[in-house]
Amino acid sequence: MSGARILLVEDEAILAMDLQDKLTDLGYRVLATTSSGEAAVRMAAELNPDLVLMDIRLNGIMDGIEAGRQIGSLLQIPIVFMSAYSDEATMNRARSAQPYDYLIKPFGPEKLNSTIVTALRSASSKKLKDAPKKFPE
């Protein structure tokens, strides 16, 4: 899964730079970073990343859960949420967007990598399963 193209959505600039460095060190390609849900939806449509790593609390009107819901349903791009918040209400809202996973901050590079690998493999398997079957003529 090394070389996968990732859109990073994080409202804390220092954390975004740190995550971008970690992702690059792990062999991923960060296509862009943004701090708002609205920009995330637009960039996902334009850049077609392999995965979106999305904070839940973002700048702007649209939070990460709503942005993730739109990106996942309209573009079928896998979403991994990340947040320092793990209360029941937040987790239930996040689950409703059907992310591939949820990272609780802080997390290390090993957890980040294993989560991304698992999400990308799951997304790949789902695409193969959902692909139309071709029969020989």
pLDDT value for 135: 47
Tens place of pLDDT for every residue, the chain, 137 residues? 568 999 999 999 999 999 999 999 999 999 999 999 999 999 999 999 999 999 999 999 999 999 999 999 999 999 999 999 888 888 888 888 899 999 999 999 999 999 999 999 988 876 655 555 454 55
**13-25: buried (b, 16+ CB within 10 Å) or exposed (e) per residue?**
eeebeebbebbee
Is 129 exposed, middle or buried (CB count within 10 Å of its CB: 0-12, 13-18, 19+)? exposed
Domains identified in the chain and CATH numbers: 5-130 (3.40.50.2300)
Query: What would the 3-class secondary structure string for 101-136 be?
Result: EEEECCCCHHHHHHHHHHHHHHHHHHHHHHCCCCCC
What global pTM score does this model have?
0.89
Give the DSSP letter of residue 56.
S
